[in-house]
Amino acid sequence: MSGKHPAPTRDAHDTFCTTEGWTLARGAKGQPVTHHRTYELTLPDGRILRTRISKPVNGRTYGRSTWGHILRDQLEVSADEFWACVNDGTLPDRGHEAPQPPAEAVPLGVLMKLRSDVGLSDEEIAGMTKDQAVERLNVFFTTGA
């Protein structure tokens, strides 16, 4: 809509969604939504974005108001981010990935026993590896200390 970017089309909208890895939404019966091409993207913070492309997906352009709504409310990207994705495959920065638990997390049952039976605080347990936590619990059960 500006001289900086080409006119936004349904094809470009579809390319953006497929490049970023959006999935086709399913209806109540588990089938793809048919009245529009409807995509969903789960963000690292757990929110789910949803966008619709009217059929047929073709070179038809969007009006300025509709395009602004799509960018802002459905895709949550700037025009620059959109076109970088469409033209160069550069994915938008959606923030950090959700934190993953450590590979060797202290099992919940061990954690609860360390709290209730041994009397350790959450801070003390958080500073332990899985092996250290299991060893501490074994010491408690064998020596009572």
Q: Per-residue confidence of the chain (145 residues) as pLDDT tens digits?
A: 557 899 999 999 999 999 999 999 876 677 766 678 899 999 888 889 999 998 888 899 999 999 999 999 999 999 999 999 999 999 999 886 655 555 678 888 999 999 999 999 988 998 898 999 999 999 999 988 7
Question: Cα-flanking dihedrals φ and ψ of residue 48, to 5°?
Answer: -120, 120
| In the chain, % of residues over pLDDT 70 | 88
Pairing relation of β-strands 23-24 and 36-42? antiparallel
Say what the pLDDT of residue 101 is. Answer: 57
Say what the pLDDT of residue 55 is. Answer: 86
Say what the pLDDT of residue 144 is. Answer: 80
Say what the pLDDT of residue 20 is. Answer: 96
| Burial (0-12, 13-18, 19+ Cβ within 10 Å), 118 | middle
Catalogue the long-range contacts made by 108-112 (C-beta closer than 8 Å, 24 or more residues apart). Answer: 110/134, 110/137
Say what the pLDDT of residue 15 is. Answer: 97
Say what the pLDDT of residue 49 is. Answer: 95
- Is the bond preceding residue 56 a cis peptide, omega within 30 degrees? yes
Say what the pLDDT of residue 33 is. Answer: 65
Say what the pLDDT of residue 1 is. Answer: 53
